[in-house]
Amino acid sequence: MKTDSDNLYWYIEYAGAIPNSARAYRQIYLYVDTDNSTITGYQANGRGMDYEIYFYLYGDNHSSYARLYSWNATSDWWRSTSVIVGVTRQPGLNYLEVWVPQQAVGYSSSYGLYFYMNTYAYTGGVPETDTSYVMGSHMRTIDVDGNAGDWGDTPATVTFPPGSTVPAELEGSALYIANDEDNLYFRIDLRGAPTTYLAAGSLTRYVYLYADVDNSNATGYVLDNGNGADYEIELSFGTSSTREGYVDLSQYTGTGEDWNWNWINEGDATVANGNILEASIPLTKLGLGTSGAIGLRIDDDWWYLYDSFPRPSQFIKFPVAGAGTTTGDLGIVKLFGSETVFLAVVVGLMLVEGIAVYFVARRGGKQPAPPPPP
């Protein structure tokens, strides 16, 4: 970070450049406390944050947004301002630059400011796909352990076209489905094997499937392809060393157009050391037998990395006392002069699609998180 006579500047450096892809998305929330009061403003990390700079950018530059918000104590929420936020943003860069007028945020050099940021990077893990499965066509009893050996020669139910994700472990390549007399099994192959686990932050990978088990368009939630989804299946796979995962199953109870689902059961899911994700659901929970066909809609599922900076101090004081020292995980890498200090925020392990850009997953179709309400 640095300042001149008019503006405040933040330079945010990533571990890699965002690729030229609509399947990549970056998002940043930068919170600033300029009145040096822990009472006023949005209460977070032990301080009162008076302003928020919100930013997003798609990798192919088809959509971007930058806005300054101020805290409204009356509505207890953020209020959009008319201040123009300056941003250097374009695909191919491994950094973002953001600047705002000092006057717009009430900055005073006499006591400086505090700030921290939440960062997201999203990538399209699997694209929206319609497929079906004939019960009993691939009879297998699968150990949900992330190993593909017990699938034998079972063919892929659907394969996904390759994207531009780097590293490849953040992109699905194929979906396999099988069943035995008790369970329905899902296997998702990734395009590459994981190379590391996150020491901090979180990577979230969801796969949402909508199942038409009675093959009737007159029942279930009406999808945009006209099919009636009787069940929503949410598969979630973590990336920690414990390789945790879970399955959420919900049954539709609405009239076709509303969003009324009744949660039924958690299933079984796991993440392997390699490139295999597996999950299972009891057939009885889906009202299925070992014959018949089911229609499946795979949602346009976005996977995202999240982190908060700095760690572990939770916020940074600017100007930094004792220039040349280290503040949390943010190293002071260059001095611009005796009055200003530059902080490089190196977003480690944020390599979703070259660095992908992060998406908040929500039930029933994940969309880019909207800017804060006006």
Q: What is the mean pLDDT of residues 229-237?
A: 91
Residues 150 and 289 in one domain: yes
263/333 Cα distance (integer angstroms): 50
Helices (H), 110-249: none
Residues 72 and 141 in one domain: no
**What does the H/E/C string look like for 278-298?**
EEEEEHHHHCCCCCCEEEEEE
Q: pTM here?
A: 0.74
200/108 Cα distance (integer angstroms): 33
- Phi first, then psi: give them for residue 107, nearest 5 degrees: -75, 135
Query: What's the N-to-C CA distance of the chain in angstroms?
Result: 27
Nearest one of 197, 205, 200, 173 to 187, comparing CA atoms:
173
Residues 327 and 217 in one domain: no
Instruction: For the chain, give percent helix, strand, coil, nearest 5.
Output: 5, 45, 50
Evaluate whether 124 touches 206 at the Cβ level (below 8 Å). Answer: no
Evaluate whether 374 touches 41 at the Cβ level (below 8 Å). Answer: no
pLDDT digits (tens, 9 = 90+) for 211-221: 999 989 999 99
What is the model's pLDDT at position 233? 94
Instruction: Say yes or no to pLDDT of 295 above 80.
Output: yes
Number of domains in the chain: 2
Q: What is the mean pLDDT of residues 48-72?
A: 92
Residues 233 and 89 in one domain: no
User: Do the domain assignments include residue 185?
Assistant: yes
Residues 187 and 70 in one domain: no
User: Do the domain assignments include residue 110?
Assistant: yes
Residues 275 and 212 in one domain: yes
Residue after which a domain boundary falls, among 299, 322, 348? 299
Identify the domain containing residue 199 by its residue range. 135-299
Residues 153 and 222 in one domain: yes
Lowest-pLDDT choice from 126-140, 288-302, 329-343: 329-343
Residues 145 and 202 in one domain: yes
User: Do the domain assignments include residue 367?
Assistant: no
Residues 82 and 173 in one domain: no
Residue after which a domain boundary falls, among 255, 279, 299? 299
205/248 Cα distance (integer angstroms): 14
User: Do the domain assignments include residue 277?
Assistant: yes
User: Do the domain assignments include residue 129?
Assistant: no
Residues 42 and 140 in one domain: no
- Phi first, then psi: give them for residue 349, nearest 5 degrees: 65, 15
User: Do the domain assignments include residue 364?
Assistant: no
Amino acid at position 131, single letter: T
The per-residue pLDDT of the chain, averaged, comes to: 80
Amino acid at position 54, single letter: Y
CATH number, position 187:
2.60.40
Lowest-pLDDT choice from 115-129, 155-169, 321-335: 321-335
Residues 77 and 141 in one domain: no
Lowest-pLDDT choice from 104-108, 138-142, 203-207: 203-207
Residues 190 and 82 in one domain: no
User: Do the domain assignments include residue 294?
Assistant: yes
- Strand pairing partners for 207? 235
Residue after which a domain boundary falls, among 299, 325, 341? 299
User: Do the domain assignments include residue 130?
Assistant: no
Strand ranges (E), 84-171: 86-88, 95-101, 113-126, 129-134, 158-159
